[in-house]
Amino acid sequence: MATQTFDDPYVGVAAVTLDAVAPGKSAMNGYTGKPRGLIVGVAGNINAVFQDGSTATIPVVAGINRLAISQINTASTTATGLFYLY
């Protein structure tokens, strides 16, 4: 897997807002910029579409997960209480 860097002027800056996740809904629903993380209420798996377009089903823990994702697909997603951090 290639290492990628993202030009983000907000690296190291606290999140400014959040948006509830409905699996299948794009992360950039009315916001400029890309999500910088994901809050998970109940641990499980997410079927993530990453900002580079790749997809994977990955485990996530309850709490804050620092992931650069653009969408969470419904299939194989078992984690609940999901919020994108911007």
pLDDT in tens, 1-48: 455 555 555 555 566 677 788 777 666 555 666 788 899 999 999 999
CA distance 79 to 41: 8
pLDDT band, residue 80 (cuts 50/70/90): very high
Residue 85: per-residue pLDDT? 86
Q: What is the pLDDT of residue 77?
A: 93
Angle at 45 between CA 44 and CA 51, to 5 degrees: 135
Is residue 56 a contact partner of residue 69, using CB atoms and an 8 Å limit? no
pTM: 0.75
